[in-house]
Amino acid sequence: MRAEKKLLTSEYVSRLNGSPFFIVAGYQGLKVAHLNELRKRLTQAGAEIHVVKNTVFCVAAKEAGVTTGLDGALTGQIAVITGKKDIFVTAKVLKNFAAEFDKLKLKFGYLNNERVEQATILAYADLPSLDVLRAKLLGLFSAPASRIAQVIKAKSEKTETPAA
């Protein structure tokens, strides 16, 4: 392998090891302006997209520990999306962008070294964000306590009223 390819491979290995997930997408037919718009949206979501050669990415993925599911899956022009945050926000950005510009085709992804198919990635996009889930969970925990406080307050107000 040439020195340039070794450098690219090591760069992709560090990206894959630094991200809890990656998503592979086909971008054939997507204009440069649209790809730049996608880059901007993904950056706001805490992710990044990189166009990569199939052979270089295959070697990098194997070096990063992804040993299954890549045979024959890397065809055509591919871009790899990685991120530091959760996959759900990134999936939402990709789904919305793919609906807007039908040239972006999600292929598959990996989450914690487990292969994730396109349908699962699209299902992740429909889930609420982690912050929303935390708020709902907090609401569930605090609801019984506030209900008990309301009952106690109502009971004490009822007993305090003087009888006429």
pLDDT digits (tens, 9 = 90+) for 99-157: 988 888 999 988 887 888 999 999 988 888 777 888 888 888 777 777 777 778 877 77
Tokens 């199939």 belong to residue:
54
**Interval 4-38: pLDDT, tens:** 888 888 888 888 888 899 999 998 888 999 999 99
As a whole number of angstroms, the distance between CA 12 and CA 16 comes to 6
Q: For the chain, what percentages of helix, strand and coil (3-state, to nearest 5) are there?
A: 55, 20, 25
Q: Strands 78-83, 114-117: parallel, antiparallel or unpaired by DSSP?
A: unpaired
What's the token pair of residue 39? 């880059």
